[in-house]
Amino acid sequence: MPEAVGSRLSEAFERARSEGRAALVGYLPAGYPTAAGAVAALRAMADAGVDVVEVGLPYSDPLMDGPTIQRAVDAALRAGTTTVDVLRTVEAVASAGTPAVVMSYWNPIARYGPDRFARELAAAGGSGVVTPDLIPDEAAEWLPPARGHRLDTVFLVAPSSTDERIALTVEACRGFVYAASTMGVTGARAQVGDAAAGLVARTRAATTLPIAVGLGVSTRDQAAEVASFADGVVVGSAFVRRMLDADDEASAVSAVAELAGELAGGVRQAGNRLAGR
């Protein structure tokens, strides 16, 4: 397996910044529609302009996943997708040159063994882990192995986060900070929450790390809107919806690539607009 390089995530955001734009982060769960299909879709996203991929670890009791992602995750679990399959998916994507992080709730990592998970993810070429239900105060079992294996640790801030909570969270983050645009579960929305820009501003006052906004982005215009004030745009449910609506695996991969191209155009559109100010 390729050797992990903990700085690849930071390098992806820096590369986007040097181009005068936000980074595009795309999420899909491992194992859907098949293990090979997920790898093909993630690679297609990267080829079409996604800078960083989030590989979802299917979990039976998600707290933040909306109905779209839950449907795909349930199918992946019924097909027998395991943590080892997730690691193999990361390896297949990372070996093609795209920084890959795992999006996982804490319980599967705890059951697998935090040190074992960190060691095997690093060996697979993974860059880090986004843990939506884990807060830094309760991450004593996770931070040492993650640091020891040079994995970036990404925690979430939300509109309800106090300035004190934001400061505590960003101190534990590596790679980037995930800013949830709205309170509630994931899912494409007609518009991104109005609180997102304010949350990014408050978070930026506490850290020099890149700040990526997720939850709700599904169109080129929304990507451009978020890219006008954030360092990264995270898209998940919209990609999964394209796959769910496809007639077959090949069509699903093509649909994901098409959306990735549209969203990549959006973050670049925002960059061009900002450059012209």
Residues annotated as catalytic (active site), given as ranges: 54, 65
Task: Give Cα 104 distance to the centre of its chain.
Answer: 10
Question: Whole-angstrom Cα distance, residue 178 to residue 24?
Answer: 13
Alpha carbon distance 218, 189 (integer Å): 7
Structure tokens given for 116:
């074992």
With contact defined as beta carbons under 8 Å apart, do 89 and 38 qualify?
yes
DSSP 50-113: -SEEEEE---SS-SS--HHHHHHHHHHHHTT--HHHHHHHHHHHHTTT--EEEE--HHHHHHH-
Measured CA to CA, the distance from residue 76 to residue 89 in angstroms comes to 13
Q: Which candidate, 158, 153, 164, places its Cα nearest to that of 205?
A: 164
210: CB partners within 8 A, 6+ apart: 10, 13, 17, 23, 175, 176, 177, 231, 232
**Nearest CA among 211, 204, 182 for reference residue 194:** 182
